[in-house]
Amino acid sequence: MNQGSRTRLVFLAWALAAAGLIGGCRPVDGPEVVVYVAVDRGSAEPILRRFEAESGIRVRPVYDAEAAKTTGLVTRLLSESDRPRCDVFWNNELVQTLLLADRDLLAPYEPAAAAALPASWRDAAGRWTPVGTRARVIVYNTKYVSPEQLPRSLFDLTKLQWRGKVAMANPQFGTTRTHVAALFASLGPERAQRLLSDLLANEIRIVDGNALVKNLVARAHPDASPIYLGLTDTDDVLAGKAAGEPVGLIYPDQDAGALGTLVIPCSVGMIRGAPHPEAARRLIDYLTGPEVESRLAAEWPGFFPLRPDAAQQPDGAKSPRAMQVNWPEVLKQLQPSSQWTKEHFHP
Amino acid sequence: MDQRTFPSLTPTTSDGRRSRCSAAGLAPAALLIAAVFLLPLAGLWLPGGADFPIAESSPPIAWKALVASLAVAVAAAVAATAVGSLLAVALTLTEIPGRSLWAAVLLLPFLCPRAVWALGQLYCYGAGGLMERWCGGGWRALAGLSDNGHYLATLLVLAEIHAPLAMLLVSRGLARLQHAGFDSARLLLSPSALVRWTAAAVRPEMAAAFLLTFALSLGEFAVPDVLQCPLYSVEIFLRVVNYFDHAGAARAALPLLVLALLATGGMTVVERRRGYVSDVPSPARTPWRLGKKIWLVGGLLGLYLLATSLLPLAAMIYEVQSPACFWAAIGDAAEETRNTLEIALAAGLLACLAGIVMGLWSADRGGLAAGLLAMTPLGIPTLILGLAYLRFFNRSWPIDLAALGNTSAVVVLALAARGWPFVTRAVAAGCRRIAPSWREAGRLAGLNRMQRWRWIAGPLLVEQVAAGAVLAFVLAVGDVEISQMLCAPGSGTLAVRLITFLHFGPNHVTASLALLELIITALPVFLYFLLTNRWLQVV
């Protein structure tokens, strides 16, 4: 390369880099809304993009990585409480939203669409609105677990035949944390602790997230990784099934008189002191409308709409019989149950 | 390495004076740059800031994870140094054809984003991966042996990633052998004695390679995160994102930071006063002709390349499923791609400017203090750098800098701080390669300092500056830790998108994003190779 070409290339590189410097540090113009999203990115992103296109409001999302789970976003919201940066929190479960409401970090705003929801799923103060539900299920490997072997209850996972063959996510975080707190609230702390201790004694494997539980089960093999069962969320299993993985799901405790399956609603709320309140209200209106629930039901396997006017799951699947849960009591049990699992579970 | 890079001159003149780049007067600028980039590290220990720990849940320091990290880093550094030394011997001392191309390809593991590289290995050698599909149960059983904690897999990937650095460092030592009687040793010594003689001659470079790869492996986050290995860096990250316990994370990070800085400080001491060969070809050089054994060397190099790079790349392409999936995935990631390019170009520019000043200054000063100030920041783990910047800028005193959080300014600054030491090192090495006799000739010809810079030092340093800039750019493109902690809402990068989709799937989206990142980082590397016909001398 001659000196002239080299000089031109060097100038080109510097010009590109300077353009990057200017572009990278420019402030944002126009209306915008900052939303922290704990719902799976693959499902949430198209919805937010559509809102952006329809409303002309720029959406600036922060998604959580599975490794950080909802807890990361909630702790971030807590840390920003003096100077909020976020407008809307779209959570994939309810308890951490209740935690924010309990700490007075959510502003009351009940969207018009909330009127169509069952009364049992509405907050009296209007600080959050549910958006559909998911369930906590048992995932199994269809190649290595025959129909007659299938467990019917969470308590079946403590049986000797499943020793070292079951996995669950770290109960310090995410929906697994909610599940444990719900067990503490529904069964009572002593019975819940006994169930969890029995699972530990049965050598349950603790992994980093619900998706990894499903992956472990899907890739199970007697010689290398004999994890045939796991506790996870509906959407993880159904997404695996759709991808052709050898997995199936069981809604646990569906027999008469049994505990029932834990059904967890997604939730959305506006942050108190949100920098863009008007845009935040418009986004909440959009997210709680029937269109979004229908779309989530169509695209997000295992998502069951709460609104009667929203389209249900395309395959006609129905929500299971739900565990009777007193959510304020679950919130009360969140800290004691987390403390207990921190002391006993070692991922 | 082509013929032009073989040595004939050492960096000192016959009367023992060192090579200098006439960079007097740069000291204030160099100290200012060091202060701007390193001052935020004080954020690790400053009180206040966004500390909102869930105190009752934040776990104690995981000493077991720290010990595991140390063990993995030591083993990875040993393996990387050994492999890198062998690669250096093959490429520097033998007459293997296409050495520059070999070198450019062998450098890719280091230049490619860590998360992408680890993901490629996972797609190839992990559960349900390419090898399992080919070999079935046998491979599954073999992989199962190393399943517990994935320490072995992490170690091997870290060694693969850092072996090119060791290769570059040891190559520099081997290039000096021409002046140390290598040709005579080759003729007179037995093969085993020749190996011992060569190893002794490049011992400082091997020690430097070990220390540098140890420091970089110790602070690595993306590889253990992707491979689900519970190392200490992952513990620190979880403390930040799950518990928001920044102060606790900063305390936990201290042992890691001290060990990494000690290692890079040690490397600076070891390398001090080592000779650098100049770019003038040696007419006296007699190449080591291996005859038919050249096929053996080529075959082994090919096997290494196949196992570490080509098969994982094939597995990644296989996971993409189809061109339609690839285009759809990268179409969805258009905004992040633009953000990434903007941020990486800006960070590369800042790192380049800072690195040029620091490199010229440290080469000119030549003292230990200057060397330590310029080189030890290489060892600061990216995770800790991100955490320090997060704590430093996320506070309301003495002035409220929260508005910066809505732009990419902080992330650009932090990424420049990551890339700057590498540019410094490349520029300093370039300065030390310039034969003092050339500048003496310029002085005798009546050129003033600026003219000597314009006509002698400047053109000779263009390639080193370009190499440093390419490295700063690719490091910024692949960064996960800083981007995840500092990116403004709605301004995420490709690497953050990749990490998010890594856990949520689907696999074809993750693989497509990884492939896109690989292309973005490989392009400038091969462009550099095409324009200069040289490998990137990044250390």
Whether residue B109 is contained in a domain is answered as: yes
Whether residue A187 is contained in a domain is answered as: yes
Question: Helix/strand/coil (H, E, C) string of A186-197?
Answer: HHCHHHHHHHHH
Phi, psi torsion values for B520, nearest 5 degrees:
-65, -35
Task: Give dist(CA B366, CA B505) in Å, integer.
Answer: 51
Question: A38 and A71 share a domain?
Answer: yes
Whether residue A2 is contained in a domain is answered as: no
Hey, which residues 135-194 in chain A have their CB within 8 Å of chain B?
A: 172-173
Question: A126 and A269 share a domain?
Answer: yes
Question: A140 and A243 share a domain?
Answer: yes
Question: A144 and A199 share a domain?
Answer: yes
Q: Closest by alpha carbon to B59, among B256, B224, B232?
A: B232
Task: Give dist(CA A301, CA A238) in Å, integer.
Answer: 5
Domain span at residue B184 reads 19-279+301-532
Task: Give dist(CA B422, CA B379) in Å, integer.
Answer: 10
Question: A152 and A248 share a domain?
Answer: yes
Cβ atoms of B92 and B98 closer than 8 Å: no
Task: Give dist(CA B209, CA B167) in Å, integer.
Answer: 8
Question: A100 and A201 share a domain?
Answer: no
ipTM of the complex: 0.72
Phi, psi torsion values for A207, nearest 5 degrees:
-120, -175
Task: Give dist(CA B274, CA B175) in Å, integer.
Answer: 12
Confidence of residue A21 (pLDDT cuts 50, 70, 90): low
Give me the CATH number covering residue B70.
Answer: 1.10.3720.10
Task: Give dist(CA A254, CA A153) in Å, integer.
Answer: 8
Cβ atoms of A94 and A265 closer than 8 Å: yes
Mutate to test the interface with A, among B140, B148, B238, B484 (most CBs of A within 10 A): B238
Average pLDDT over residues B106-123: 92
Mutate to test the interface with B, among A12, A75, A232, A237 (most CBs of B within 10 A): A75
Residue A161 is encoded by which pair of tokens? 């035949």
Whether residue A150 is contained in a domain is answered as: yes
Hey, which residues 462-491 in chain B have their CB within 8 Å of chain A?
A: 462, 466, 469, 484, 488-491
Over chain B, what is the mean pLDDT? 83
The residues, ordered by sequence, that sit 6+ positions from A301 with a Cβ below 8 Å of its Cβ are: A234, A235, A237, A238, A239, A241, A242, A313
Question: A126 and A41 share a domain?
Answer: yes
Whether residue B30 is contained in a domain is answered as: yes
Q: Over the stretch B122-152, which tens digit does the pLDDT of each residue have?
A: 999 887 788 888 887 677 677 666 556 789 9
Task: Give dist(CA A201, CA A286) in Å, integer.
Answer: 47
Whether residue B295 is contained in a domain is answered as: no
Quote the number of domains for chain B.
1
Whether residue A13 is contained in a domain is answered as: no
Phi, psi torsion values for A218, nearest 5 degrees:
-65, -35
Whether residue A295 is contained in a domain is answered as: yes
Please list every residue in chain A whose beta carbon sits closer than 8 Å to the beta carbon of residue B499. 65, 67
Q: Over the stretch B57-79, which tens digit does the pLDDT of each residue have?
A: 556 667 888 999 999 999 999 99
pLDDT(B287) > 70: no
- Whether residue A83 and residue B225 make contact (CB cut-off 8 A), yes or no, is no
Task: Give dist(CA B210, CA B22) in Å, integer.
Answer: 32
Question: A252 and A290 share a domain?
Answer: no
Question: A121 and A223 share a domain?
Answer: no
pLDDT(A92) > 90: no
Whether residue B1 is contained in a domain is answered as: no
Whether residue B329 is contained in a domain is answered as: yes
Question: A165 and A121 share a domain?
Answer: no
Whether residue A155 is contained in a domain is answered as: yes
Cβ atoms of B433 and B20 closer than 8 Å: no
pLDDT(B14) > 50: no
Question: A250 and A151 share a domain?
Answer: yes
DSSP string, A179-248: HHHHHHHHH-HHHHHHHHHHHHHTTPEEES-HHHHHHHHHT-BTTTB---EEEEEHHHHHHHHHTT-SEE
Task: Give dist(CA A36, CA B423) in Å, integer.
Answer: 37
∠ CA A6-A10-A12, rounded to 5° = 115
Confidence of residue B368 (pLDDT cuts 50, 70, 90): confident
- Report whether the peptide linkage leading into residue A111 is cis, meaning its omega lies within 30 degrees of zero: no
Q: Over the stretch A272-294, which tens digit does the pLDDT of each residue have?
A: 999 999 999 999 999 998 888 88
Whether residue B31 is contained in a domain is answered as: yes
Task: Give dist(CA B25, CA B40) in Å, integer.
Answer: 26
Whether residue A47 is contained in a domain is answered as: yes
Task: Give dist(CA A179, CA A262) in Å, integer.
Answer: 7
Whether residue B2 is contained in a domain is answered as: no
pLDDT(B442) > 70: yes
Whether residue B403 is contained in a domain is answered as: yes
> Closest partner residue to A243 among B51, B57, B506, by Cβ?
B506
Confidence of residue B13 (pLDDT cuts 50, 70, 90): very low
The residues, ordered by sequence, that sit 6+ positions from B275 with a Cβ below 8 Å of its Cβ are: B10, B11, B12, B176, B179
Confidence of residue B120 (pLDDT cuts 50, 70, 90): very high
Whether residue A98 is contained in a domain is answered as: yes
Please list every residue in chain B whose beta carbon sits closer than 8 Å to the beta carbon of residue A86. 489
Residue type, A308: P
Domain span at residue A232 reads 134-262+335-344
Quote the number of domains for chain A.
2
The residues, ordered by sequence, that sit 6+ positions from A171 with a Cβ below 8 Å of its Cβ are: A177, A179, A180, A196, A206, A337, A338, A341, A345
Q: Closest by alpha carbon to B267, among B132, B377, B351?
A: B377
